[in-house]
Chain A
Amino acid sequence: MAVTSQELRPGADLGGTLTARQSWSRLPAWLRRVIILAVAVAVWELYVKAAHVSHLVFASPYAVARSFVSGWLDGQIAGATGVTLEALAIGMAIGIGSAIVFTVLATWTTVGQDALMMFTSMLNPLPSIAILPLAIIWFGLNEKALVFVVANAVVWPIAINVTTGFRTVNTTLLMVGKNLGLRGWRLVRDVLLPAALPYIISGVKVAWAFAWRTIIASELVFGTAGGSGGLGYFINKSQYFLNIPDVFAGLVTIAVIGIIVEVGFNMLERRTVIRWGMQATS
């Protein structure tokens, strides 16, 4: 419940009259999250201790933390993360490159636009992981198949978002640009791209979310047979050897990377589209 202005009137004895609810919502957001996390971890630890859960099924937070730290220190998790991120980066680069080509075609030609609309409506709803079996047949059980499914996960959301962004650029802004004598690439760089930035960022965000889930899922599908050496492989291998703390450490790594990228996107948005009042939603 929100604190009403009456309760905040000067002279009121705030310290004495605050309810627990009010003092909780008064804490900074990060602190509230840290407290919830600490409580969750404590409950987890107590449960594992008290219920005598088998080590082969469930790991305590302490064991997970130990695995996490040693995994990063001895390079096992770091290596696996590197392998995964490398395939992801190549896949995303290819996906983004193709998206740019499609976007250019779709923005400047009607045939391109029709083709893009058709392919997007057909392929975008299809989870990219679903084409992994085909990719394995075409490329084999190797990194190329991973790169292919990642590129496919990335290309459609970016192409459709950027094209929409370009096509909906405010016509007055375009006229202002042309009035200044801007043409060709200069007009694209100084007017179209920044004007379409909200769409570009949301396209890349969606693409990242798809790509990240796709590559982890694909590595898990590969199992230990693929031997790609990525995070999915690390989890599979740990499971195979019943090293449950390592399985959890792998999951934590995946979640942490997801959080870091999310925070990066939020920072980028705060510095650009939110700062400029260009945010389409919210």
Chain B
Amino acid sequence: MKNQQSDVSSRSQPDVKAKEDGPVTSSAPLLSVEHVKISYRLKNTLVQAVDDATFTVMPEEKVMLIGPSGCGKSTILKAVAGFIEPVSGRISFAGSTNITPGPDRAVVFQEFDQLFPWRTVLDNVVYPLRVTGRSKPEAMAQATTFIEMVGLGPARTRFPHQLSGGMKQRVAIARALALGPPMLLMDEPFGSLDAITRTRLQGDLNRLAERAKVALLFVTHSIDEALLLGHRVVVLQGAPSTVAAVVDVRDINGPDDPHYRSIRRSLEDLLGAPGEEEPDGGN
């Protein structure tokens, strides 16, 4: 496990990444999404957002959801989080098909306005920990650690309206990570960050996911990010979307990997358009 995280920070290092690194050993998926179809009701019409989505996430597995804008990635995430009920199909999490919102699937939303405006940065992270039963000193310590991790230590007494968009997202990331849930649902959490901060947080997330044994369902636009963070990539296509492919990228170790280019090319082809070159790809 250790060499995987060092891959992220120093990719030049030739390394041996063993197959048993991945969480393939566990047989029962933590999350399974089967033929899920989701519609929104807009006045009298139904807007179909997702036509047929099927994929699984094993315990401790990091699954990336990738697809063009408006194809229903956020919608799928919200269904898994329990905010939207599918029209048909089945979602089961930890053996239960009764999907209601809960902190065992901590969410980082795509929207900037997901922090409580009346709480400081610190309180925004402490409060969820208190609500989910941590003692005050424990919650404070945990919150401080994660706020430091996302680089917001100096801003911890500020209110959300005094933060930039990217800083707000980092607070939301710290809040979700601090909860230490069995599964994290993250909706383009690094979308609004500069390349350097993004690379650092991607590394932090990778390290943390290893340490905390958390499963990850992660929405992104970026093929490079998907390759960097993911064990598997679920490629969505069309609107309403269907799953075009599920690609195993466990063995890809950064852009220096000989397979990187070819996998990247095939993902681009699946997405139907040349993927944007990520500035942090080459580092």
* Selected contact of B102 from candidates A181, A194, A272, CB within 8 Å: A181
Q: Which of chain A's residues have a CB closer than 8 A to the CB of B127?
A: 190
* Selected contact of B109 from candidates A175, A182, A194, CB within 8 Å: A175
B162 an interface residue at 8 Å Cβ cutoff? Answer: yes
* Selected contact of A179 from candidates B101, B111, B113, B160, CB within 8 Å: B101
A197 an interface residue at 8 Å Cβ cutoff? Answer: yes
User: Of all chain A residues, which has the CB nearest B181?
Assistant: A179
Contact with A along B220-237 (1 / 0, CB 8 A): 000000000000000000
Q: Which of chain A's residues have a CB closer than 8 A to the CB of B102?
A: 179, 181
The CA-CA distance from A190 to B103 in the complex, in Å, is 16
B55 an interface residue at 8 Å Cβ cutoff? Answer: no
B117 an interface residue at 8 Å Cβ cutoff? Answer: yes
Chain A contacts with B in 146-183, Cβ cutoff 8 A: 170, 172-173, 175-176, 178-182
* Contacting pair B109 A176 (CB below 8 A): yes
* Contacting pair B101 A197 (CB below 8 A): no
* Selected contact of A194 from candidates B105, B118, B131, CB within 8 Å: B118
* Contacting pair B109 A172 (CB below 8 A): yes
The CA-CA distance from A190 to B114 in the complex, in Å, is 14
* Contacting pair B128 A173 (CB below 8 A): no
* Selected contact of B118 from candidates A178, A181, A197, CB within 8 Å: A197
B259 an interface residue at 8 Å Cβ cutoff? Answer: no
A275 an interface residue at 8 Å Cβ cutoff? Answer: yes
Contact with A along B79-104 (1 / 0, CB 8 A): 00111000000000000000001110
* Contacting pair A172 B101 (CB below 8 A): no
Q: Which of chain B's residues have a CB closer than 8 A to the CB of A190?
A: 127, 131
Closest CB-CB distance, A182 to chain B, in whole Å? 7
The CA-CA distance from A182 to B102 in the complex, in Å, is 8
Chain A: interface residue total (CB-CB under 8 A): 20
The CA-CA distance from A277 to B103 in the complex, in Å, is 27
Closest CB-CB distance, B75 to chain A, in whole Å? 13
Q: Which of chain B's residues have a CB closer than 8 A to the CB of A173?
A: 113-114, 116
Q: How large is the interface on B (under 10, 10 to 19, 20 to 34, 35 or more residues)?
A: 20 to 34
The CA-CA distance from A194 to B162 in the complex, in Å, is 18
B159 an interface residue at 8 Å Cβ cutoff? Answer: yes
Chain A contacts with B in 246-282, Cβ cutoff 8 A: 272, 275-278
* Contacting pair A276 B161 (CB below 8 A): yes
* Selected contact of A180 from candidates B111, B132, B161, CB within 8 Å: B132
The CA-CA distance from A89 to B128 in the complex, in Å, is 38
* Contacting pair B160 A181 (CB below 8 A): no
B107 an interface residue at 8 Å Cβ cutoff? Answer: yes
Closest CB-CB distance, A185 to chain B, in whole Å? 13
* Selected contact of A277 from candidates B101, B131, B159, CB within 8 Å: B159
Q: Which of chain B's residues have a CB closer than 8 A to the CB of A179?
A: 81, 101-103, 105-107
Closest 3 CB pairs of A and B: A277-B161, A178-B101, A172-B111
Given A191-B116, A194-B116, output 19 extra A-B contacts at Cβ < 8 Å: A172-B109, A172-B113, A172-B114, A173-B113, A173-B116, A175-B109, A175-B114, A179-B103, A179-B105, A180-B128, A180-B131, A180-B132, A181-B101, A181-B102, A190-B127, A194-B118, A277-B160, A278-B117, A278-B118
Binding site for A on B (CB under 8 A): 78, 81-83, 101-103, 105-107, 109, 111, 113-114, 116-118, 127-128, 131-132, 159-162
29 cross-chain CB contacts under 8 A: A170-B113, A172-B111, A172-B113, A173-B113, A175-B78, A175-B81, A176-B109, A176-B114, A178-B82, A178-B101, A179-B101, A179-B103, A179-B105, A179-B106, A180-B103, A180-B131, A180-B132, A181-B102, A181-B131, A181-B132, A190-B127, A190-B131, A194-B116, A276-B118, A276-B159, A276-B161, A277-B117, A277-B160, A277-B161
